[in-house]
Amino acid sequence: MAPIRVQSVLISESVDPRCRSILEENGIRVTEKHNMKKDELIAEIKDYDGLVVRSATKVTSDIINAASNLKIIGRAGTGVDNVDVDAATKKGIIVMNTPSGNTISAAELTCALIMSLSRHVPQAVMSMKAGNWDRKKFMGAELYGKVLGIVGLGRIGKEVASRMQSFGMRTIGYDPITPPEVATSWGVEPMSLEQLWPQCDYITVHTPLMPSTVGLLNDETFAKCKKGVKVVNCARGGIIDEAALLRALESGQCGGAGLDVFIEEPPKDRSLVNHPNVVSCPHLGASTKEAQARCGQDIAQQIVDMVNGKNLVGAVSFNPHPIVMSKSPPKGF
Ligand SMILES: NC(=O)C1=CN([C@@H]2O[C@H](COP(=O)(O)OP(=O)(O)OC[C@H]3O[C@@H](n4cnc5c(N)ncnc54)[C@H](O)[C@@H]3O)[C@@H](O)[C@H]2O)C=CC1
Ligand SMILES: O=C(O)C(=O)COP(=O)(O)O
C-alpha cells in the first residue's frame, strides 16, 4: 500500500488516551476538540490530514467537502453510519474502523439488557431506592428454554448467541450473508425472517444501519411475532421502528424492550425511555475500559501503519481484520 502523508489529526470525541500517544510517538500532531457544532467542525477540518471520531460526530458530505487536506477518517469503533462513506470515497479519503475492538462489550451489554427484561432488575432497583419492597410487581420469567431470535449473525450476534446458550436459551437466527453451516456451528439455527418472527420469546438485532435494515422490526413484523415478545436493540436506532415499537408496547404485542441506541441521540422524545416496560442506556455498548482501549489503540496503529505504507491486515494484534472502506463495502456494511 502506498504511504499516505498524515501530519496532523483531529480527535473530535472522547477516545482512549492511547490513541493520542501512539499518534504522537509516531510524529503526528494531535488536536483534541470535543463536542464541536457542525459549523465549528467545518471551519476546523481544513487544517487536518486525519480525523478520529466515535459515533457522535456526524461526518456529513458538507464536512467532507470542506476538508481540503483530509486523507483519512478513523472510526474508533464499529458502525460507520455516522460517516458519509460515499462522499469520502469520491474525494479519495480513506474511512476505516476498528470492527472487533468493542464486540465483546456490545455483546455483554446486549445480554445484560436481555436479563434485565427477564427479571425487571432496573425497575426493581428504582422501586427499592424509592423506599418500596414490592415482590409481586416484579415477577419475572426464566430465560431457560426460551427462544432468542438473533437478526444479524456477525461478530456481535455470534457472541450474544454463545452467552445466551449458556443460559439454556434456544438460539435461532437470520443473516443474508453468514452461511447457514457457520451459524449452525455456533449453535444457532439459521432460518428466514418469516420463520423466525413467530418463534421468538426474545429478539435481538445486530445488523449495521443501512437502507435494508431500517425498520426491520415494524408494525407488520411485530404482528407476526408472539404476543409479549421482548426486543433488544444494541445495534442502531431505527433498526427497530421506534413508533411501531411504542405502539406494540402499548398494545402488549411487545412485552418489553431493551434499548441502547436511538434514532436521535440523546432522544428528545422520551416516550420510549419513559415506558414502564423499557430499559434503556445512553449508547453504552462500547463504553468499557477494555473496548475503548482496544479501539483507541487500534485506530491509531492503523493510521500509523497506513502512513508507513504497511499492509494493514495482520498489523493490529487484537483486530486481525480491520476494514478499509471502499466503493464496494466488505461483508456487513
Ligand atoms: N451499541 C453500541 O455501542 C455498539 C453498536 N454496534 C452496532 O452493531 C452493529 C453490528 O456490529 P458487528 O456484529 O460487529 O457487525 P458485523 O458486520 O460483524 O455483523 C453484522 C451482520 O449483519 C448482517 N446483516 C446485514 N444486513 C442484514 C439484514 N438485513 N438482516 C440480517 N442480518 C443482516 C451482516 O451479514 C453481518 O453478518 C454495528 O454495525 C454497529 O452499528 C457495534 C458496536 C457497539
Ligand atoms: O462502535 C459502534 O458501532 C458503536 O456504536 C459504539 O459507539 P461509540 O464509539 O461508543 O460512540
Provide the ipTM: 0.99
> What pLDDT is stored for residue 263 in this prediction?
98
Residue 227 resides in a domain: yes
Q: Domain check: are 157 and 82 in the same one?
A: no
For 15, the grid coordinates are: 477516545
- Choose the residue to mutate in 102, 103, 263, 325 for probing ligand 2, maximizing ligand atoms within 8 Å of C-beta: 102
- Ligand 2: which residue has its CA nearest to atom 11? 55
Q: Residue 94: which H helix or E strand, with range?
A: strand 94-97
d(CA 288, CA 294): 10
Residue pLDDT, tens place only, 55-75:
999 999 999 999 999 999 999
Cβ of 12 less than 6 Å from ligand 1:
no
CATH code: domain of residue 181 = 3.40.50.720
Residue 140: the pLDDT is 97
Domain contains 327? no
Domain that holds residue 54: 8-101+289-317
Query: What residue owns the CA closest to ligand 2's atom 9?
Result: 54
Whether 219 and 308 share a structural domain: no
Taking the CA of 74 as reference, the closest ligand is 2
CA 197 from centroid of its chain's CA atoms: 22
Confidence of residue 320 (pLDDT cuts 50, 70, 90): very low
pLDDT in tens, 88-128: 999 999 999 999 999 999 999 999 999 999 999 999 999 99
Average pLDDT (288-313) is 91
Same domain, 84 and 190: no
Would you name the residues annotated as active-site residues?
A: 236, 265, 283
Distance CA 126, CA 184 (A): 40
| Alpha carbon distances (Å) from 101 to 67, 79, 275 | 27, 12, 32
The SS3 of residue 48 is coil
Same domain? For 76 and 139 the reply is no
- Does 322 reside within a domain? no
pLDDT band at 166 (very low <50, low <70, confident <90, very high): very high
pLDDT of 326 higher than 80:
no
Whole-number Å distance, alpha carbon 199 to ligand 2 midpoint, is 30
Q: Over the chain, what is the mean pLDDT?
A: 93
* Model pLDDT, residue 175: 98
Instruction: Note if the bond before 17 is cis, omega within 30 degrees.
Output: no
Q: Which residues contact 215 (CB under 8 A, 6 or more apart)?
A: 238, 239, 240, 241, 244
Higher pLDDT, 312 or 306: 306
pLDDT in tens, 170-201: 999 999 999 999 999 999 999 999 999 999 99
b or e along 3-22 (b: 16 or more beta carbons within 10 Å of the residue's beta carbon)?
A: eeebeebbbbbebbebbbeb
Residue 328 has pLDDT above 70, yes or no: no
Looking at residue 310, its pLDDT comes to 81
Give the total number of structural domains in the chain: 2
At residue 62, the pLDDT reads 96
- pLDDT band of residue 309 (cuts 50, 70, 90) is confident
Do 118 and 142 lie in a common domain? Answer: yes
